[in-house]
Amino acid sequence: MFDKSANQLKTPIRFTKWMSTHIANDNKFGRRVFRYHPRSDAHSQRLCEFVLDDILSCCSLLREHVEKNIVAWGINANALFPNNKTKTLDLAIGEATDPVLVSDTRSPRRVSMDKIRLACEAKQCMTEHSKTKPRIFDELSSSHEIVHQGIPGAISCGIVVVNISREYASPTRQAKARGPLIMTAHRQPAAAEGIINHLKGLTMRKDGKGVGFDAFAVIVIDCDNLGECRLHLDPPAPEPGSPHHYEMFLKMISDAYTSRFS
């Protein structure tokens, strides 16, 4: 059952606040000024941790299953599928292959599991929105295809953070270790709107049939990669009631888990 009393913007708010203080060290020049670095998965990991907390808050059945050690969760979890293929999932909930790893919500981040019940793919689009469109779309599409081809009853979901800042300091575009930072200009809100509309074309499935996402959300932030990050709630961010709004994302996951695993 979906718990409507939970704060449905908890993860977007928590992630934005975390980004405002996070330092993503640049190994090339050693600059410690960036909030995000494309060669680090720290952001995906933290986003998945926040999403997990929200799912557990909103879905009483899943919370019960975790407390009773019926399922475990993992960040960057190694999932074994019936075809004997293994895939690393950003966030996975299922039955751990090693019973020792089954514990409360603080179970180890990196676990191996089979009988996946939920898989979530987390992505970020911070700059070069047009170039990023095909890559993110293909990676998201392949993620739910792999999950549902292996385990049709599993819940497959995705979440993408899109940057709407007009300027951005990209760590990979800096030419010197010191001096003024090179800033990339973005045509906003057109750039963010373009990729958000593109991602709305991802396949969504109904009633757990076929191949596609069971839930998909977009979070929009304003981040120049140097200072404070802000959560952007105005268009082109998905509006409340939209199938890609974060609240609907949680409801779809909670409803799907309750109907499939009661």
pLDDT in tens, the chain (262 residues): 556 555 567 999 999 999 999 998 787 777 788 999 998 999 999 999 999 999 999 999 999 998 888 888 888 888 777 767 778 899 999 987 665 444 444 444 456 677 899 999 999 999 999 999 999 999 999 999 988 888 889 999 999 999 999 999 999 888 787 888 999 999 999 999 999 999 999 999 988 888 899 999 999 999 999 999 999 999 999 999 999 999 999 999 999 999 999 8
Residue 71 covered by a domain: yes
Amino acid at 29: F
Fill in the amino acid letter for 217.
A
pLDDT value of position 112 = 67
- Any residues with CB less than 8 A from the CB of 91 and at least 6 apart, and which? 48, 51, 52, 73, 74, 75, 77, 118, 119, 120, 122
Task: Say what the pTM is.
Answer: 0.91
Q: Is residue 155 part of a domain?
A: yes
Parent domain of 128: 10-261
* 3-class secondary structure, 50: helix
Are 216 and 157 in contact by the 8 Å Cβ rule? The answer is: yes
Residue 4 lies in a domain: no
The answer to the question of residue 5 being in a domain is: no
The CA distance from 162 to 101, in Å, is 34
Count of C-beta atoms within a 10 Å radius of residue 229: 24
Whether 224 is in a domain gets the answer yes
Q: What is the rounded distance in angstroms from the CA atom of residue 137 to the CA atom of residue 128?
A: 14
Provide the 8-state DSSP code for 98: S
Report the largest interatomic distance among the alpha carbons of the chain, rounded to a whole angstrom: 59
Q: Tokens 């739910």 belong to which residue?
A: 144
Is residue 79 a part of any domain in this protein?
yes
Domain count, the chain: 1
Answer whether residue 88 is part of any domain: yes
Q: Is residue 30 part of a domain?
A: yes
